[in-house]
Amino acid sequence: MTSISVKKQIAAPVEAVFARATNLREAVDTIPGIVKMEVLTDGPIAKGTRFRETRIMFKKEAVEEMEISRFEPPHRYDVDADNHGCFYHTEFHFRPKDGGTELEMIFGATPHTFGAKIMSMVVFKPMLKSTAKLIEKDLDAIKAAVEGTSAAEAS
């Protein structure tokens, strides 16, 4: 699995950061890159919740259906997706640090088809830097939403 990790320090308690980051129904209001969010599972957000996220990635609209595969409030949740011959796994860790919260997002991809394996060697590794920047923007947006600042001030 090829993976990247991005961390962001947020001046708020772990519980507040976790609550905002897992509020899928308000994700469009929190993260500017998300243009549409559909929660496909009834009830509260928990392990097994499925959702469809539409966002702008690399100047194109991308739609992914995902599922929360691990949900441990207020310390961690994981999201999985399987698309284009790859399994995508994202971990969100919320740790108390310096009177606030360190939010870490670890994103990984594992190709499982021949075509995806070839493409991952050619495309995925060079895209890691761009993907890290997108993750940084998402974490800045969560930070801004929790702290009540603008995303520019959060970075």
Its pTM stands at: 0.88
Residue 30 reports pLDDT greater than 70:
yes
CA distance 87 to 48: 17
Cis bond leading into 32, ω under 30°? no
First-residue to last-residue Cα distance in the chain: 28
Segment 62-113, tens digit of pLDDT: 899 999 999 999 999 999 999 878 889 999 999 999 999 999 999 988 887 6
| Domains of the chain as residue ranges with CATH | 2-26+69-150 (3.30.530.20)
Neighbouring C-beta atoms of residue 36, cutoff 10 Å: 12
Residue 52 reports pLDDT greater than 80:
yes
CA distance 64 to 71: 19
**Of how many residues is the chain composed?**
155
Neighbouring C-beta atoms of residue 79, cutoff 10 Å: 22
pLDDT score recorded for residue 129:
75
